[in-house]
Structure 1
């Protein structure tokens, strides 16, 4: 029960929208299973997963929990777009280097990169990393070619030699095979996907988002107490547009469940600062002033891949006078993780980017499993909560036009 003795949620529908991730959604089920058990042991509640009912639609699982004396049930579904991600990553080595040039121009040529640097340096370093890593790999391959050419004394190509040049391709292929360690190709494809149309969504993604909107709209007709949409990383800006379309469609029933949006580790400015992101900028403006949902944005300065504590609406420059959302709060990794745990994770940047979905050994007021499986709505859980004093809410983007 909550502190007032009232259970607000008995049944919940949760829709999780991943970021740019080519992996099968079962990884999220197993992550939820392991981390929820760990958090339950730490926080003193009970939570258990069961398989989703056969024939009940998308990939997901069923959760039953007992927290604060209340029993709740939640059905969690992953809104899958990993197939689109895999298709966008199906690029050869030359095409990836061409992506590098186009993506660098998309951010540098428009001035977006320099404006993004005024927010947080962490995600900018993450964005520059694949550029320098790929150029470094090419440089090492050319140095090796030159050395081999010099040793063999061949001069078909000045200072390199044809035989030396022949080693460039195998070296680049070796780096690509080892990208599970370097993440250069993965990150390059990620940033290139957002930048390829200057911030516009590709047609296949728009079509998939329309399917997601239909699924969420159907859930709002169910006999549940809350429909919660969780957008992680680049999934956050997809959720913004999906929910904005849903609100404009008038798909919310008059006496339906509470609608809530939880954005985690968001990288919205990487898209909203681009010149042709008019749709996203309009959608940010529209849901920021809606009284039909609750939007809580959770990031942490310790997450170098996210725009930590940057209000995505305000920094994009589209905050309306009647802006209500998001409530920007910090997961405060340095406080909610023990010194030993923080030391273990501090330099594991990709792992930290997923910490929002994991257990905290010193939990504060952010607990992913209480939010997704507990007895309070998102609105009730954070009622009266003040936004982080360290948030950044000044307009920085140079592109502020919105779609009609």
Structure 2
């Protein structure tokens, strides 16, 4: 059997856990894929890459596939802006939502998808209401037996002990950090360090895209899908007008491009998207309708332009078909986990789950064709 060779570049989201976490996640999902498919997958140890990246090799011995997997790292930059102090996070969230009120096109966002609007707005409300309720309700009940000052003090202590745990379960702090970060990026741009990193990523992809591969995939997830558009603009500029290879595919998972694109003050990002509207490339997006953090069926280029020369497919991964009901990540408390199902293998194999796409024998187009036959 002739070996099928694939190159994958992966650009992750706003997550300080970085390459160690994602390498182990891929290993775990590869083992799950092997159990379900009967194919023997081997994931190598990771090694340092040439451009702020880490590389590992995925070998599918059964199907004759070798994937060179390159993780594009920016978790160090995430760590620099990751707010750990809850009081500092609360203070900066006030400025964040004041700016969103002035600059975010919520009416357009609501027309695109209502879920992300709720996801954006509920964290500050819960951050106020949950601590207040956990303090006020015990205080009022205890005031029937104790002096009001004592009841109030006990209520405050109860709130301090329980609020953080409950807010974390509802992923409120993570969403507040996510919104603060993207507010600063919209208003001020990515910053010099991130700009340099995006330049590195684009140069590295251009260096490899004409290599001896049957398929080259530039995959991104969550906040990485925002930066993927900026990297793609750089790739096209570095190509100097030469067409992209026919086997090069941009894959976005749980895309959140409107978080920046719908900010009226994000003119730098509007320019990046507008620069893509007359360029031919292949883009496939998988975003799930139940994922309140993602924008299903939203064409990223059409956010700023009526034209698009690219071949773009907007699909739902239909997670519900591949998970048992008890394992399906639904509900408010599972929003964070649901946003990572794009990188997981379910209880049944999907032709388009992440390991199938990056370690299977089928090309992405072949996998989608099979996926479309599923009723």
TM-score (norm 2): 0.83
Measured at CA, do residues 319 and 47 of structure 1 come closer, stay the same or move farther in structure 2, by a change above 3 Å?
farther
Partner of 1:82: 75
Unpaired runs of at least 5, structure 2: none
RMSD: 3.5
2:224 is equivalent to residue 235 of structure 1: yes
Find 2:172's aligned residue among 175, 180, 184: 184
Counting only pairs closer than 5 Å after superposition, residues 4-403 of structure 1 correspond to structure 2 as 10-53=4-47, 58-66=53-61, 70-90=63-83, 92-140=85-133, 143=136, 175-176=163-164, 180-203=168-191, 204-220=193-209, 222-250=211-239, 258-291=247-280, 293-314=281-302, 316-320=303-307, 322-342=308-328, 345-347=329-331, 348-379=334-365, 381-382=367-368
Partner Cα separation in structure 2 for residue 143 and residue 207 of structure 1:
49
Partner SS state of residue 303, structure 1: coil
**More helix by percentage:** 2
What's the CA shift for 1:379?
A: 4.7
Q: Deviations over 1:53-103 (max 9, x none)?
A: 567663232100146xx4121121221212222221235334322222222
Partner SS state of residue 311, structure 2: coil
Measured at CA, do residues 288 and 31 of structure 1 come closer, stay the same or move farther in structure 2, by a change above 3 Å?
farther
Partner SS state of residue 319, structure 1: coil
Measured at CA, do residues 222 and 111 of structure 1 come closer, stay the same or move farther in structure 2, by a change above 3 Å?
closer
Measured at CA, do residues 246 and 172 of structure 1 come closer, stay the same or move farther in structure 2, by a change above 3 Å?
farther
Partner SS state of residue 292, structure 2: coil
Measured at CA, do residues 241 and 329 of structure 1 come closer, stay the same or move farther in structure 2, by a change above 3 Å?
same
Partner SS state of residue 117, structure 1: helix
Partner Cα separation in structure 1 for residue 161 and residue 86 of structure 2:
8
What's the CA shift for 1:297?
A: 0.5
Q: Deviations over 1:280-336 (max 9, x none)?
A: 333334435433x3210011112222112222222x14231x433321111012223
Question: Relative to structure 2, which stretch is displaced further, 373-382 or 276-285?
Answer: 373-382
Unpaired runs of at least 5, structure 1: 2-6, 387-404
Partner Cα separation in structure 2 for residue 202 and residue 384 of structure 1:
39
Partner SS state of residue 12, structure 1: strand
Structure 1 contact 40–46 (Cα < 8 Å) conserved = yes
Partner Cα separation in structure 2 for residue 103 and residue 43 of structure 1:
46
Q: Deviations over 1:81-134 (max 9, x none)?
A: 122222212353343222222222222223522321222222222212221122
Partner Cα separation in structure 2 for residue 384 and residue 325 of structure 1:
19
Partner Cα separation in structure 2 for residue 128 and residue 206 of structure 1:
29
Structure 1 contact 63–76 (Cα < 8 Å) conserved = yes
What's the CA shift for 1:253?
A: 7.3
What's the CA shift for 1:364?
A: 4.3
Partner Cα separation in structure 2 for residue 341 and residue 120 of structure 1:
25
The count of corresponding residues between Structure 1 and Structure 2 is 366
Partner Cα separation in structure 2 for residue 243 and residue 367 of structure 1:
23
TM-score (norm 1): 0.77
Partner SS state of residue 51, structure 1: coil
Measured at CA, do residues 72 and 179 of structure 1 come closer, stay the same or move farther in structure 2, by a change above 3 Å?
same
Partner SS state of residue 59, structure 1: strand
Measured at CA, do residues 255 and 139 of structure 1 come closer, stay the same or move farther in structure 2, by a change above 3 Å?
closer
Question: Relative to structure 2, which stretch is displaced further, 323-332 or 193-202?
Answer: 193-202
